Amino acid sequence: MSMQDRPVLVTGGAGFIGSHVCRVLLDHGRTVRCLDSFVTGQRANISALVPNPGFHLLEADIRDLDACRHAVAGVESVVHLAALGSVPRSIDDPIASEAANLTGFLHVLEACRTHRVRRIVYASSSSVYGDSPASPKVEGQEGVPLSPYAVTKAMDEAYAGLYHRLFGLETIGLRFFNVFGEHQDPNGPYAAAIPRFIDRFLRHQPPVLNGDGRQTRDFTYVGNAVQAVECALATPQAEAFGGVFNIAYGRSTDLLTLVNMLREALQEHDPQVAQVPVEHGPERPGDVRNSLADVGRAHTVLGYEPGYAIEDGLKRAIPWYLAHLG
């Protein structure tokens, strides 16, 4: 079996980003092995993929080393997206975040080593920049982590680099910045800002901003994240291996501006949204104040070309939320 014909394993394949990656890989004719524990992943995200003969679902947990070894057997490459996301969740339960995000990742790396997997593309996070005052954020200028989640992602990067140097595994880390889009769950206490705000607006309830709302984020549409994964899987550049890359659009938006963008877009569907006010809550521990990515290295080494600005992404994502929440 040629390398191209061997399956790609996507851990967390029923999750937000993972389900999009699985679909695109299938569209490109690849065989996909999806591993998910459904702790945070949703079966609805992959229901349309299940009938595809090239899609194979494994229900297992990356905290189980034997399950990881079974999952990687015979695969050509791995896209590792399984994790317990959310800074607040990690502050509430650091042990759970460590078990999934660090020990689970080490299990995947070790399984890849023992089964001679060629390449692993894994999700890191903009949270690794911590208290760095630099703007934009540039690889190599990290600060002190501000949350257990950030610590786990920084350690993932360290382990991935080590496995490349010691064992020759082609590891590529993608530091995702505030990804949003279809399939992102608006429910639960750790929901991300954009789906949570949309859900509140559609219920005619005020979106709650932590702090003054002037904190900025480099909101990144999921289509950009998927393109980055594709670039990382395909790149022949040896410079990429053992490295990490910012994945974003390269433009910051403050939360008050974001809320106004959502209000304007949603009121075309529901005019009453125009009257919904905004509430302010206390600042959250562990939050980075401002976040803007320099994506130049990803462009130069991986060939990454983000095609969706925040406005483009919202145009694609909002109809999905209207269909599922309206």
Residue 280, burial from CB neighbour count under 10 angstroms (0-12, 13-18, 19+) = middle
Q: Provide the 10 A C-beta neighbour count for residue 189.
A: 9
Distance of CA 235 to the CA centre of its chain: 20
Residue appearing with tokens 């690889």: 139
Which H or E element spans position 319? Answer: helix 310-325
- What stretch of H or E contains 280? strand 279-281
Q: What distances in angstroms separate CA 70 from CA 6, 9, 35, 133, one per listed residue?
A: 15, 11, 10, 43
Q: Which residues contact 215 (CB under 8 A, 6 or more apart)?
A: 254, 255, 287, 288, 289, 290
Reference 132, options 112, 110, 154; nearest CA is: 154
Residue 129 a catalytic site member: no
Handedness of CA 63, 68, 70, 71 (dihedral sign): positive
CB 197 within 8 A of CB 258: yes
The two beta strands, 253-254 and 216-217, are antiparallel
> One of 122, 129, 149, 304 is an active-site residue; which one?
149
In eight-state DSSP terms, residue 32 is E
Q: Which residue carries 């399939």 as its tokens?
A: 183
Pair of tokens at residue 176 = 């995702």
Other C-beta atoms closer than 10 Å to the C-beta of 255 total 22
Task: Say how many CA atoms lie within 13 Å of 86 toward its Cβ.
Answer: 19
Catalytic positions are 149
